[in-house]
Structure 1
Amino acid sequence: MAIEFKQHTLSNGLTIVAEIAPEAHTAAMGFFVKTGARDETPDLMGVSHFLEHMMFKGTDNRTAEQVDQEFDAIGADHNAFTSSEITAFWAHSLPESLPKAGEILSDILRPALRQEDFDAEKKVIMEEIAMYQDVPFWILYERALEVYYDQHPLAHRVLGTPETIAPMPRDGMLEYFQRRYSADNTTVALAGKVDFDRMVELVERHCGEWQRTDTKREQPKFTPLPNEFTLEHEAVNRAYLLMVSPAPSLDEEERYAMSMLGQILGDSDGSRLYWALIETGLAEEAQAQYDGRDGLGDLLAFACCDPADLEEVQATIRREMDGLVESLTEDDLQRVRSKVATGTTLQGELPGGRMRRLGQLWTYFGEYRSLEDELAKINAVTLNDLRAVAESYPLTPIVTGRLIPKGG
């Protein structure tokens, strides 16, 4: 399918990017705001995610019910997400319905933020935080990143905590919104069968008055410090282990090699950890994953097992990490190269996937990188590249966290 890239920037700094596919049967649009948990002050931790919820609680033009009804009326698949670094709102629909979907999205991006809605939704957020406290991996993951990133804002929890959400004032959210949800901190991504000029005109009409704030993301210096910790939980009967190691940031070319090295180490099947822990029955789950971030990155190794086997599982993971580079083969490289390429291609098969990929890449890099360019980068990785990234970023856990049954 032929893809054409187009880009336009409004006078207020809002950028519109598109991958146009005239032969596609659907179209997608998303608003990507370069803000997330890392951009919050400690006392407002969780405000980005809370604000994502508030976007669907109504505007000066629509009630919350009308937002849902109008999306449903055009049959649009719509959703939103908040991460440490990006908040996004998107819709995927038939091409003829995209202008309406775009008008709804642009409207909800300027929410009413009514006090009564704020107070009601705060209870929903508190319930969501409590729900995740029943998920063992999530408990360990949040704590491990807090310990690893320490005073760096990447330590912030996306959902926040009861201690930050309960006292959070509506005016604090409003100030954060006005500063971070500015035109020059927002990218609109389009994909599929799109009339680009018409969509630019629509965005100009509905978003042209949005303010520019020249907001920037802070990039404080960071050096991880070794640490180990153990949590106990009365509701778990398994042991959970999470190790965190430094890794390349998203703007480093080494990220391709590190992503592949992580898959060789800990993909869900066929990896070193799979054969050493899952196939042998020593652990029920064992994976490794590279997470690239803006300016930083980390490699996570995770396992779940019988508490009696925890020490052996931890020693096995360390042994596999220590011996990984020496054991690498061309077969490893080809297998993971094919898997990564397949996953990347599948992600881009539908306009919705292309839109999310395009929006996130432009938000991070401010430049266009086609799917074909990404595949070429993946296919160009060599064994020497894998060895080099392991030398630059040794597979040595800096932080190791454990979650075990209470009293265990």
Structure 2
Amino acid sequence: MTELMHTLPNGLRVVTAPMPHVETTSVGVWIDVGGRHERADENGVAHMLEHMAFKGTRRRTARAIAEEIEGVGGYINAYTSREQTAYYARALKEDLELATDIIADIVLNSTFPEDELARERSVVCQEIAQVNDTPDDLVFDLLQEAAYPDQAVGRSILGKPDRVGRFSRQELEGFMGRGYGASRMVVAAAGAVDPDEFLKLAEARFGHVADSPMERPEPSLWRGSQLVDERAIEQVHLAFGVDGVAFDDPDFPAVQVLSNLLGGGMSSRLFQEIRENRGLAYSVFSFAGSMMDGGMVGVYAATDPEALGELQPVLADEIRRAADDVDEDETARSRSQIKAGMVMALESSSARLEQIARQTLIYGAPPDTAEWLELVDAVDAAAVRRVAAKLFGSGRPPALAAIGPAAGLEDGARFAERFG
């Protein structure tokens, strides 16, 4: 696949990834602004802004936005992360212009009607309540806060109900004015798209966008701590993490292979030992997340409270062994899973869109898939053992979060001693 990038005079980047054998087109705008760009008193505003973008523009009502894209069989959506906000749509190839126009309209022309804002405050507060009632989601917010307490990167993307319920139109407009600038945007399309045609569409709709003065976010500072939410529920939801690597770290590919090897599938060490051999958990997996200036590698498991005392030592044993006895066959299997997963995903125009837009924001240019696959292929067992020892044996305090009847939980310091 060939990706093409063009930078408009205002600094906005336009990226296309033609996929000649598909009949759909995915188009979107990715913006280099998210939860970690918020000041403490505006936590949740980036997510609220994303919601409100769909609630009416100078040209379309909220209902018209939905009816126009669904009227041609397409769909439209958005998300907010800690570092990025995205708005995207998918439609048949003949509806590329309509999809591009709607995306541009909601990003650039939203009016934030007061009556819609009042309703959406309530909707987002209900979303927060839903997460609070879903421990396997909430535990990751607690883990992030435990890793980065009192920092923007450690706060919930959704915000807190008492603040979300008071966001004003002026606050939304102020945050958009600071963050939604041309040089912070990537406008992208993937699938059945002609690069020259899409460039003209993007120039017509985004060529006038001004730049923004948003300040750089505060650096992330790992401070690993422990947070426990005691609840009378059936299981304990446990998550822990250690200080990881940034996107541009040379060890990034090796960390991905390590994480997948530990808990990325049914053949992984954690799944085999904890679920298949011991029956200690139904759900157990590892994860490796990165940011522009840091990251986290860790494990999630849900278990019966009576099994918690056995689960933590087994987790630690499997992690410790990864620094000692990972072999080439196991590493090769993990590499193959990562490569196959990536290539299979890229057969979808929406997945391809996500990849080219996000990675252009992260690395400054569209990804070279062949180069990334070569980097994964270069990871051998020695590299996996080395990064396992570096990450889990650093001596830095882990972040530990648990929800449920967690009286049997080992504290983070004792737990770290087990795999250090």
How far apart, CA to CA, are the structure 2 residues paired with 1:204 and 1:226? Answer: 45
Answering whether residue 160 of structure 2 is matched by residue 154 of structure 1, we say no
In structure 1, C-alpha distance between the alignment counterparts of 2:190 and 2:216, rounded to whole Å: 27
TM-score by length of 1: 0.95
Q: How does 1:5-404 map to 2 (within 5 A)?
A: 5-110=3-108, 111-220=110-219, 222=221, 224-234=222-232, 236-279=233-276, 280-394=278-392, 398-404=398-404
Moved more, 266-275 or 398-407: 398-407
Check the 8 A contact 1:241/1:314 in 2, yes or no: no
Gaps of 5+ in 1: none
CA distance in 1, matches of 2:265, 2:343: 19
**3-state SS in 2 of match to 1:51:** helix
Q: Is the 8 A contact 1:184 1:214 kept in 2?
A: no
- Once the two structures are aligned, what percentage of the paired residues are identical? 28
254-263 or 373-382, which deviates more = 373-382
- Listed one character per residue, the Cα deviations across residues 119-149 of structure 1 (whole Å, up to 9, x for unaligned) are 1110000011011111112222111211211
Q: C-alpha displacement at 1:402, in angstroms?
A: 2.1
Q: Moved runs in structure 1, 4+ residues, more than 6 A?
A: none
Task: Return the alpha-carbon distance in structure 2 between the equivalents of residues 159 and 88 of structure 1.
Answer: 15
Q: 1:164 to 1:389 in 2, by over 3 A?
A: same
Between 181-190 and 192-201, the greater mean CA deviation after superposition: 192-201
TM-aligned CA distance change 1:26 to 1:287, over 3 Å:
same
In 1, distance between residues paired with 2:348 and 2:139?
34
Structure 2: tracts of 5 or more residues without a match: 409-420
Deviation at 1:219, TM superposition (A): 4.4
**TM-score calculated relative to the size of structure 2:** 0.92
Secondary structure class of the residue paired with 2:404: strand
1:284 maps to a residue whose letter is: Y
Paired letter, 2:245? P
Shift of 1:226: 4.2
Check 1:117–1:244 CA distance in 2 against 1; reply closer, same or farther (3 A cut): same
1:88-134 deviation per Cα after TM superposition (whole angstroms, max 9, x unaligned): 11112222111111011100112111122111110000011011111
d(CA) in 2 for partners of 1:269 and 1:130?
Answer: 32
Alpha-carbon distance, 1:394 to partner: 2.7
Asked whether the 8 Å contact 1:240–1:302 carries over to 2, the reply is yes
Retained in 2: the 8 A contact 1:10–1:204? yes
C-alpha distance in 2 between matches for 1:360 and 1:48: 17
* Higher mean C-alpha displacement, 142-151 vs 382-391: 382-391
Q: 1:169 to 1:147 in 2, by over 3 A?
A: same
The one-character-per-residue Cα deviations of 1:194-232 (angstroms, maximum 9, x if unpaired) are 12222222222122221112434324252x334233221
| 1:136-195: CA deviation from partner (whole Å, max 9, x where unpaired) | 122221112112111332102111111321222221111001110111111011112212
CA offsets 1:343-393 (integer angstroms, 9 cap, x no match): 101110122111111001001111222222221211121112212323432
SS at match of 1:233: coil
Q: Aligned equivalents of 1:86 and 1:152: distance in 2? A: 17
Conserved? CA contact 2:15–2:188, under 8 Å: yes
Whether the 8 Å contact between 2:357 and 2:366 is mirrored in structure 1 is: no
Report the aligned-residue RMSD.
1.7
Partner of 2:284, secondary structure, is strand
Distance in structure 2 (CA, Å) of the matches to 1:306 and 1:393: 28
Q: Which residue does 2:411 correspond to in 1?
A: none
Q: Is the 8 A contact 2:36 2:153 kept in 1?
A: yes
2:35/2:152 contact within 8 Å kept:
yes
